[in-house]
Amino acid sequence: MKNRVKEFRESLGLTQEQLGELVGVSRQAINSIETEKFEPSIWLAYDICKTFHSPIEEIFLFKESVRKSRAQQSRGCSLNGIKTN
């Protein structure tokens, strides 16, 4: 999932470690979110957005992805009758 965490974090002058401390995760977790290697839980995303005083839609960009969702991967899900796998 695309996100603007790094942009918002840097605008506040925070390091990855400082943001991690504010939301209760490691610096490595923040790095993984920023580099799109890890998708945060909805609760972690909420805490990050709360820290930035911004709505979730401004920080996490929920656009169609080439990568299948976890639900699609595990079930071979279809949308509107169109097979996705």
Q: pTM for the complete prediction?
A: 0.72
Q: Does residue 20 lie in a domain region?
A: yes
Fill in the DSSP letter of residue 54. Answer: S
pLDDT at 62: 80
pLDDT at 24: 98
What's the CATH code of the domain at 63? 1.10.260.40
Residues, the chain, total? 85
Q: Does residue 70 lie in a domain region?
A: yes
| Ordered per-residue pLDDT tens for the chain, 85 residues | 899 999 999 999 999 999 999 999 999 999 999 999 999 999 999 999 999 999 999 999 987 555 555 656 666 655 555 554 5
Total of domains in the chain: 1
